[in-house]
Chain A
Amino acid sequence: MARNRKAPPPGMVEKRGAGYWLTHLGLIMGVLFIFFPIWLAFVASTVSQPEIVHPPMPLWPGDQLWENYSKALVSGINAPVATMLLNSLVMAMGIAVGKIIISLLSAFAIVYFRFPFRKVIFWLIFVTLMLPVEVRIVPTYEVVANFGMLNSYSGLIFPLIASATATFLFRQFFMTVPDELAEAARVDGARPMRFFWDIILPMSRTNIAALFVILFIYGWNQYLWPLLITTDPSMNTIVMGIKQMFPSGDDIADWPVIMATSILAMIPPVFVVVGMQRLFMRGLVDSEK
């Protein structure tokens, strides 16, 4: 027990001896358990079709990695995966960036301006939280179809772009910003949009980073909506595209290519999470007063 280990940060309980190793063993087991299906998918994407369908399922990567991935990226099954990745990227970025801009501006209006029915408008926005896409999907489809936005990026993005959650989050954050700051900016001669741009926006960057991660993944993982409005394979997004790759009827599924597509579909969100995590962790650590 008297081993010299560095003192733990205050507030953290340090485990010693057997408990220390047991905890780690537990954590490692957990990670392996979660990671195993992904590993299987990766293995499946590196072997040939016959190797997969003959049991037992291989557990170590084969030699078909390059063939499978290039086939997926360049030709795919219905559409090249590269195209689907691009479509998903445009959709997820469009939704994340659009949602952030719209909710920042609407929260700014609600918190900093006095206008008639301000409270009512806020509650109307709030009420839309109760209406997810799935509930309003038929009328929304009708509207998008009438605007001729089927099979287009705008059709993929616009119906999903308003976010009550983000508006609410920014509103709560803006309300913690002291009034004196707005007054000081007013005395300094900043007009409202200047105040928004110079003061509010930089102060919100931590929140924006966190929201971007969440919203990007929300957009990336959209399944039902793209499935409904993209009939042209060249507009398919990757998450729904994977499903489209399953053959109908008696055809044989090209599992290695499907698995390669799945692995490829996972990469961009991972990059966003890892990349943005550093930004918003830094923001959390040196938090502003």
Chain B
Amino acid sequence: MATVSLDNLKKSFGRIDVIHGVSIDIEDGEFIVIVGPSGCGKSTLLRMVAGLETVTEGEVRIGGERVNEIEPMDRDIAMVFQNYALYPHMSVFDNMAYGLKIARRPKPEIAERVASAAKLLQLEPYLKRKPRELSGGQRQRVAMGRAIVRKPAVFLFDEPLSNLDAKLRVQMRLEIKQLQRELGVTALYVTHDQVEAMTLADRMIVMNDGVADQIGAPLDVYSDPETAFVAGFIGSPPTNFFPAGAVGLSGGAKTLGIRPEHLELAGENARARGTVLYAEALGAETLVHLRMSDGEMATVRQDSSAPMPVEKTEIGLSWDDRHQMLFDAAGARIR
């Protein structure tokens, strides 16, 4: 258990800068999710904390101690890889015990630690099996078990759920969260899936092109995005963007962002107009997709009790001023 600090962390591969300086102080036991589209540098950031990637500039501190030049094994971390990286020729038990064997822990202690991790992850019946004899979810658990037995100060997860099917992903997501709570270990978790980020994170880092656009609690990030990128990336269906001019806003604002749930279909006092393309009734809610008069697409999320609009008809949109999010030409929020 430890705090982790990243201090203006930068990374370049040759002349290409991939991370332009990320700073965050992570508290002991906090669950931090690094989220962003592919190629934004989120995995590189995690790998720098792990020690698998050298730090170009800045400092990584674990438990207050600078670890830039320290080998991964001495950083008191454990990592869960995207493809699990289980040793194919070793049994589940040996996979989990390998790190402890290298650390020359006494055999009874290894057996006991593996047994308790296996119990926690319900892997007890499979300890003698080889990874290829396990299902995807079980392999995932073994990868987690391998991290747990080392009793690290920090867990690092590199897109651990991306190889699982949708149902299993939801289930494992819950398990990871529970486990982290139970063990009270600081965790850094990389994902491109904003739902995972929202559900798991105590705080999340939204990465965009090597820059941490916003760091904050999921709901704060959702309701109060700092940049147009964050507003568009977090939330599903994504935020609607309208050119400021088209909706009669002047000043420095270039674009207006509004979440689908804050838009209302309105006959009168409409602030914009569009044509209904189709409506998706999802049960509890209905998503109405429109093409605005200037050609942009927009989505309205409304309660399923609200009247369904007729497709191909023109309709007005209205919203409350307090839900307006204004962004300048560079995508920064104007408040």
Chain A residues packing against B (C-beta within 8 Å): 178, 180-181, 183-190, 194, 198-199, 202-203, 286, 288-289
Chain A residue with Cβ nearest B81: A180
B-chain residues with CB within 8 Å of residue A194 when the two chains form the complex: 102
With A289-B131, A289-B132 as contacts: A183 and B81 at CB distance below 8 Å: yes
Docked-complex contact B89 and A187, CB < 8 angstroms:
no
Identify which of B79, B88, B103 contacts A187 (C-beta below 8 A).
Answer: B79
Docked-complex contact A184 and B102, CB < 8 angstroms:
no
B-chain residues with CB within 8 Å of residue A185 when the two chains form the complex: 87, 98
Docked-complex contact B83 and A288, CB < 8 angstroms:
no
CA distance A169 to B187 in the complex (A): 41
A-chain residues with CB within 8 Å of residue B103 when the two chains form the complex: 189
CA distance A199 to B79 in the complex (A): 18
A-chain residues with CB within 8 Å of residue B310 when the two chains form the complex: none
Residue B137 CB within 8 A of the other chain: no
Count, A-B residue pairs, CB within 8 A: 61
Interchain residue pairs with CB less than 8 A apart (9): A180-B85, A184-B79, A184-B81, A186-B52, A186-B72, A187-B52, A188-B98, A189-B72, A194-B102
Chain A residue with Cβ nearest B143: A184
CA distance A250 to B81 in the complex (A): 76
Docked-complex contact B89 and A202, CB < 8 angstroms:
yes
Docked-complex contact B102 and A181, CB < 8 angstroms:
no
9 tightest Cβ-Cβ pairs between the two chains A and B: A189-B73, A188-B99, A180-B85, A184-B85, A288-B88, A202-B89, A189-B102, A180-B81, A187-B72
Chain A residue with Cβ nearest B86: A184
Docked-complex contact B88 and A289, CB < 8 angstroms:
yes
The count of chain B contact residues (Cβ–Cβ below 8 Å) is 25
Q: Shortest Cβ distance from B237 into chain A, in angstroms?
A: 34
A-chain residues with CB within 8 Å of residue B50 when the two chains form the complex: 187
Residue B231 CB within 8 A of the other chain: no
Identify which of A180, A189, A199 contacts B99 (C-beta below 8 A).
Answer: A189
A-chain residues with CB within 8 Å of residue B83 when the two chains form the complex: 178, 180
A-chain residues with CB within 8 Å of residue B72 when the two chains form the complex: 186-187, 189
Residue B292 CB within 8 A of the other chain: no
Q: Shortest Cβ distance from B190 into chain A, in angstroms?
A: 14
CA distance A236 to B88 in the complex (A): 45
Chain B residues packing against A (C-beta within 8 Å): 50, 52, 71-73, 77-79, 81-89, 98-99, 102-103, 131-132, 146, 150
Chain B residue with Cβ nearest A288: B88
A-chain residues with CB within 8 Å of residue B71 when the two chains form the complex: 186
Q: Shortest Cβ distance from B213 into chain A, in angstroms?
A: 28
Q: Shortest Cβ distance from A180 into chain B, in angstroms?
A: 4
Known A-B contacts: A180-B84, A190-B102, A288-B89. Give 18 more (CB < 8 A).
A178-B83, A183-B79, A183-B81, A183-B85, A184-B86, A185-B87, A186-B73, A187-B52, A187-B77, A187-B78, A187-B79, A189-B72, A189-B99, A189-B102, A190-B98, A199-B89, A286-B132, A289-B131
B-chain residues with CB within 8 Å of residue A178 when the two chains form the complex: 83, 85
Q: Shortest Cβ distance from A197 into chain B, in angstroms?
A: 11
Chain B residue with Cβ nearest A180: B85
B-chain residues with CB within 8 Å of residue A186 when the two chains form the complex: 52, 71-73
CA distance A198 to B71 in the complex (A): 19
Chain A residue with Cβ nearest B47: A183
Chain A residue with Cβ nearest B84: A180
With A189-B103, A190-B102 as contacts: A199 and B87 at CB distance below 8 Å: yes
A-chain residues with CB within 8 Å of residue B150 when the two chains form the complex: 188
Q: Shortest Cβ distance from B205 into chain A, in angstroms?
A: 22
Docked-complex contact A288 and B102, CB < 8 angstroms:
no
A-chain residues with CB within 8 Å of residue B99 when the two chains form the complex: 187-189
Most chain A CB within a 10 A radius of its CB, from B50, B87, B146: B87
Q: Shortest Cβ distance from B73 into chain A, in angstroms?
A: 3
Docked-complex contact B52 and A183, CB < 8 angstroms:
yes
Q: Shortest Cβ distance from B130 into chain A, in angstroms?
A: 9
Identify which of A181, A183, A189, A286 contacts B87 (C-beta below 8 A).
Answer: A181
CA distance A189 to B52 in the complex (A): 12
